[in-house]
Amino acid sequence: MGAGRTYRLAILIPNVWGIRNIIHSGVLRSLNEAGVEVHLVMRHVPQYSHEMDGDYHDACEIHPILIPQRVKRTPGKAFLDGVIYSAFMQHNQIRSYPIYSRWFRRSETPRLRLRSNLIRSLGKTTQMPSIYYMMHRWSESLYRRSVDLMPIRQHLRQISPDLLWSTAYITPDEHAYVMAAQDLGIPVLASILSFDNLTSRTSYLQRFHHYTVWSEWMKQQLVLFYTHVSPEQVTVTGTPQFDFHRRAEFCLTRQETLSILGLEPNDRYFVYGASTRQLAPDEPLLVRWLAQRIAETKQLKNYKVVVRLHPLDDWSRWNLETDGLDCLILSGAWLTKPSADGWAFITREEQVRLVSLLTHAEACINIASTIGLDAAVLDRPVIGIDFRDEPQAPAELLYSEYYTEHYLPLVESGAIRIASNWGRLIDIMIEAVLFPDKYRANRQQAVQRICGTVDGRASTRVVATVLDLLAKSKEL
């Protein structure tokens, strides 16, 4: 960036993952050091500087995200969006679609089932890209009629950014800002937040000036499924969320970790990465039964199970399920319990706790959770539970999620050892204790394919991409 040249960047942070990826990873600091005037547009403005990690609180200007006021009802838009989504999924033969459809439709009333079947049928007949892109433009037109975008446009005019950065394009709070930026001719960069976003989330047809992705595999998915995106519009950077796993300052010693967990100095433990009530209503019961099986197994009876609660779950659903089980320890994902809308100002300590917890664990047990990737990055054994055919197990869990597009590479690589019954699960747990390095090459292969380069410098590559786009923005 040229001497004395100041660029202005607006970053949308509608959820906690943006705090992690932009603030705690060092991206904000690097942008500030490069002379960029940064404006954070956040779900909530922090009241205290410590919520923004102290030293970097003054490195930017912070604005609340404006929610556009609804001015007109648009009957049928939700149905139209369902048809567009169905058409896109069926055209691209995305296996996530029937998996999630079956799960979320399992308790539908006859009326809702009829509506879902109609959406699927219409999606099948309109699955040509030219048709569902046309329907998408119609949906955007309906959205514009239903809300007042003027305050959003005024907000962006006030900030006057050279570039708008979308950190979570799947979040509805960002949609109005992206559309307003396009109205004003402001280029928009979208960072694909997670490995499931391209094949199982909404806002799939949103058009952006440029994209950053984790890996070549994600880039191939983006270009293949989203026909309006060219390879030149996509930069592979890795993701800052795994930078913490490669930085020594984010990992405590074993003794420090055990102390935080309230364990004894010689204790050994497994991590169970919990899901949400939405995807795993019976999970507390499953974990309780797991603890009972461990207590009955000679080789494992002295081990603990640390249940890392999902950041966006209702933590209260776990309270009663652990009564009387000394080997179970509940560990909240965040030091600050999230609000009803899932928001919390997470700190660096949350990342320290996650990295340390997994680093010193015997293995990470989960049901198709992203935490399996965290464990693989840290070279810890990953164990999956798929009890669809196990009669002595709770049924209300989405076991089939292993076979979605985003999770299947982890399965196919052999990086995750999947147990189909209790006996197999116990055997795999014992194997992880005795031979923790056995599937190291498989984990490395999966991490390279899904996550890209994990060297602690993804934030540096992201910043370089942003600076390049800022420089080019003057040419647009």
CATH code of the domain containing 377: 3.40.50.2000
Same domain for 333 and 211, yes or no, is: no
pLDDT at position 336: 76
Same domain for 259 and 396, yes or no, is: yes
Domain-located, residue 366? yes
Q: How does the average pLDDT of the chain come out, rounded? A: 92
pLDDT at position 1: 47
pLDDT > 60? residue 425: yes
Average of per-residue pLDDT across 11-25: 92
Same domain for 258 and 374, yes or no, is: yes
Strands 147-148 and 69-70: antiparallel
Domain-located, residue 257? yes
Average of per-residue pLDDT across 391-412: 94
Same domain for 157 and 281, yes or no, is: no
Domain-located, residue 2? no
Looking at the chain, the whole-number percentage of residues with pLDDT higher than 70 is 94
Average of per-residue pLDDT across 260-275: 96
pLDDT at position 58: 65
Contact present, 23 and 188 (Cβ < 8 Å): no
pLDDT > 50? residue 2: no
pLDDT digits (tens, 9 = 90+) for 331-388: 988 887 777 666 778 888 999 999 999 999 999 999 999 999 999 999 999 999 999 9
Domain-located, residue 3? no
Same domain for 358 and 395, yes or no, is: yes
Q: How many domains does the chain have?
A: 3
Same domain for 200 and 346, yes or no, is: no
pLDDT digits (tens, 9 = 90+) for 156-178: 999 999 999 999 988 888 999 99
The neighbouring-strand residues paired with 304 are: 269
Last residue of a domain, one of 113, 142, 171: 142
pLDDT > 70? residue 84: yes
CB within 8 Å of 307: residues ≥ 6 apart: 272, 274, 287, 318, 322, 328, 329, 330, 331
CB within 8 Å of 56: residues ≥ 6 apart: 23, 28, 29, 32
Nearest one of 387, 410, 378 to 271, comparing CA atoms? 378
Same domain for 315 and 409, yes or no, is: yes
Same domain for 281 and 365, yes or no, is: yes
Last residue of a domain, one of 115, 142, 169: 142
pLDDT > 80? residue 120: yes
Looking at the chain, the whole-number percentage of residues with pLDDT higher than 90 is 83
Domain-located, residue 332? yes
Distance between CA atoms of residues 69 and 146, nearest Å: 9
Last residue of a domain, one of 142, 161, 184: 142
Same domain for 294 and 403, yes or no, is: yes
pLDDT at position 275: 95
Confidence class for position 3, pLDDT limits 50, 70, 90: very low
Query: Beta-strand (E) ranges in 279-425?
Result: 304-308, 328-331, 364-366, 382-385, 416-419
What are the Cα distances from residue 57, in Å, to 24, 62, 311, 457? 11, 9, 24, 22
Range of the domain at 200: 8-68+149-242+456-473
Same domain for 128 and 88, yes or no, is: yes
pLDDT > 60? residue 247: yes
Domain-located, residue 157? yes
Q: According to DSSP H, which parts of 126-205 are helical?
A: 129-146, 150-159, 172-183, 197-200
Same domain for 434 and 297, yes or no, is: yes
pLDDT digits (tens, 9 = 90+) for 317-326: 887 666 677 8
Packed helices 77-91 and 129-146: angle between N→C axes, nearest 10 degrees = 150
Same domain for 238 and 253, yes or no, is: no
Domain-located, residue 426? yes
Confidence class for position 66, pLDDT limits 50, 70, 90: very high
Domain-located, residue 316? yes
